[in-house]
Amino acid sequence: MTDSKPPTTTTHTLPTPFTHTSPPPILLTQGAEALVYKTHFLDLSSPAILKFRPSKAYRHPTLDARLTKQRVLAEARVLVKLAGVTDAAELRVPGVLGLEWDVGRKVKGAGGEGVVRVKRGEDLQGKKTEDREVQGRVVAAGAWILMEFIEGRSVKELLRGVDEWAKRLGERISQEEREKVEGDVKALLRAIGRTVAAMHFKGGVVHGDLTSSNIMVRPRKHEQVNGHGHVEGSDTKPPDLSGEIVLIDFGLATQSIQDEDRAVDLYVLERAFGSTHPKQEDWFDAEVLQHSEGYRGTFKGANVVLKRLEEVRLRGRKRSMIG
């Protein structure tokens, strides 16, 4: 930093080396944990996702640095492990292309200045500061993972699309069409059950944050080539639910094989479904979990996890003990 302007807090600033990427990465979403950008890896024909975890201004810097580094490394390790599972065709995750767990750390020959987040003028304890040092340590500047771009839409978008289509057309939908769409939704739910089972039993991983936003449906290769992408917003057609399931966002994942952890993983998904997709809530248990083509039917030991899930459900606080 050669000029004398004091550093200011920034939002949405890219970490190095992406400050020099051309064309610049495009911000897709701002999730709870990270900013997700679409960019490319090496050349434009390989689209990639940059998941940048900026430091959070509300957290104490020590806590922030520890959490960010821990989470980015855990996520990368889980992704690499799952990508290495060869005997589960339905278990798909984005591939890891690159990673940095502390943008501010000094790396010989790589600049190492990075993006520095500093509260201008004062640190959290009211001590005046003009530079990067807080409590004798460099303020955390964030971390990033570069990973494979997954084409397609999230299950959340697709189910919302179905709800909107049904609401928009109402009476004009024939019984036949309604049943077909219902069948497609249920098939999707069963596929989700199978994929989660593969992650648990073949991958030995518990996702930790299973929601419908974290399950993608990617059109199969031949459909991509033909340009039959996922049509949404077409006036009379419901969204296309076909494709392969890809799980994303392993920021809270752990490498656990405990029934308890697997049951809690399913519980998180069940609750997330109930809150976000009340119209499909009733089908969740039957299709995703209990169906012979869902979670239950896929691997030995699934029934033990499902039994445990019954116990986990009862743990909700202030739950009436009736029934």
Partner 1 sequence: MTKPLIALGLEGSANKLGVGIIRHPPHPISSFKPRPPAEILSNIRHTYNAPPGEGFLPKDTAQHHRQHVASLVQQSLAEANLTSSDIDVICYTKGPGMGAPLQSVAIAARTLSLMWNKPMVGVNHCIGHIEMGREITGATNPVVLYVSGGNTQVIAYSNQRYRIFGETLDIAVGNCLDRFARTLCIPNDPAPGYNIEQLAKKGNILLDLPYAVKGMDCSFSGILAKCDEYAAQMAKGTLTDPNTGEKITPEDLCFTLQETVFSMLVEITERAMAHVGSNQVLIVGGVGCNERVQEMMGSMAGERGGSVYATDERFCIDNGIMIAHAGLLAYSIGQTTDLVDCTCTQRFRTDDVWIGWRND
| Contact set with partner 1 (CB under 8 A) | 11, 29-33, 56-60, 62-63, 67, 125, 135-136, 208-211, 213, 252, 264, 268, 271-272, 274-276, 278, 315-321
Cα distances from 89 to residues 245, 260, 320, in angstroms, run: 10, 25, 42
> Which CB sits closer to partner 1, 60 or 237?
60
Strands in 86-212 per DSSP E:
96-100, 121-122, 128-129, 133-134, 137-138, 143-148, 153-154
User: Phi and psi at residue 129, in whole multiples of 5°?
Assistant: -150, 140
Q: Report DSSP state, residue 241.
A: -
- To partner 1, the closest distance from the beta carbon of 220 in angstroms equals 28
Round the CA-based radius of gyration of the chain to a whole number and report it: 22
- To partner 1, the closest distance from the beta carbon of 321 in angstroms equals 7
> Which CB sits closer to partner 1, 213 or 224?
213
How many residues can be counted in the chain?
Answer: 323
- To partner 1, the closest distance from the beta carbon of 117 in angstroms equals 11
Q: Residue 119: which H helix or E strand, with range?
A: none
Going by DSSP bridges, is the β-strand pair 35-41/137-138 parallel, antiparallel, or unpaired? unpaired
> Which CB sits closer to partner 1, 109 or 136?
136
Question: What angle do helix axes 302-313 and 175-201 make, rounded to 10 degrees?
Answer: 100
- To partner 1, the closest distance from the beta carbon of 10 in angstroms equals 10
Cβ atoms 215, 192 nearer than 8 A: yes
**C-alpha angle 87-248-290 in degrees, rounded to nearest 5:** 65
Q: Report DSSP state, residue 240.
A: P
- To partner 1, the closest distance from the beta carbon of 268 in angstroms equals 4
Q: State the Cα–Cα distance between residues 142 and 15, nearest whole angstrom.
A: 8
> Which CB sits closer to partner 1, 164 or 209?
209
Cβ atoms 132, 140 nearer than 8 A: no
> Which CB sits closer to partner 1, 41 or 295?
295
Q: Which residues does the annotation mark as catalytic?
A: 209
- To partner 1, the closest distance from the beta carbon of 293 in angstroms equals 26
